Amino acid sequence: MKKNYFIQTLIAIFITSFALGQNTLSTGDHFADVNGIKIHYYVSGKGPVCLVPTPGWGPSINYLKNSLKPFENFFKVVYYDTRISGQSTGPNDPTKYSSLDFMNDMDSLRVYLKQPKVWVMGHSMGGFQVLNYAIHHNENLNGIIALAPLAGRDSIYEKEFTKMVMKRKGEPYFEAGSNIFFRKDTTKNKNSEMMPYIFPFYFHDVSKISEFEKLGDPQMSDKAGEYTDASFFGTEYLFPQLYKIKVPTLIVVGDDDFVCDKVSQADRIHERITNSEIIVIKDAGHFSWVEQPKQFFMDIEKWLKKQNLMP
């Protein structure tokens, strides 16, 4: 009798543990308690797990999970709000917002989801995060997809940034936006206050802003922007360490991206990661999959199939 009870108990524990493990990756919204904060994440799709962080300086997962759905044919995608963004909580101390904190959160989420290895995908400063994570945790990765990634600001970056901003001279939005970029206007210092003036620069075709707006409320966090400045999040210069990344890496950039451009960022990232490929999306800015979805997903699907990932 006791033996049967013992066996039944073990079976119940196993089933419960398995169910709990499965629940963490069931489709829908979840919260993970890691590093003293609650990370909000949303799961969708099928296949190997791919972690997708928000950029970190303000927006939530809405624009990502509502526009990158074709990736869900290849991956079980885990979109997550980084600390203080979207529905995630964060520390009271603004200095606890460093690149190291973001790396620790990413790795803690991987462990929480019981994944020995994961894919990672990030856009813009999310791209910075996944590259930085890969430099330090290459052994925990299956591969990387870096969408308009940033790896460091230097004189080459400043030259390209200025050139790309000035390219918009004559546009109705140019004066207000460029005054913010070149620090002539210091009054609009919060994310929510600045974005209406600078957002047109992010597009090759400003009429596509309406397509972006359909993706839902970005839930811009001004506090995340303040913490970013206070902790110097994302200011590290990654180029000298990119050689440490050995996993398959795809870099995708719009040919008219003013903030994470091809010349100073994508090309140099590609040069320094041996096992990497680069895709340039024609007539696209910072959100190349919104402006040119057909080219974007068609080219990336070819690369994914080369990695033996099938829908």
- Global pTM reads 0.92
pLDDT digits (tens, 9 = 90+) for 180-195: 999 999 898 898 999 9
Extract the residue ranges of the chain whose pLDDT is less than 50.
Answer: 1-3, 5-6, 9-21
- Looking at residue 85, its pLDDT comes to 97
Domains of the chain: 30-306 (3.40.50.1820)
- Looking at residue 156, its pLDDT comes to 98
- Looking at residue 30, its pLDDT comes to 98
Angle between helices 155-166 and 174-181 (to 10 degrees): 170
User: Starting at the edge strand that comes first in sequence, how are the strands of the sheet with 49-53 ordered?
Assistant: 28-34, 37-45, 76-80, 49-53, 118-123, 141-147, 249-254, 276-281
Alpha-carbon gap, residue 53 to 256, rounded angstroms: 24
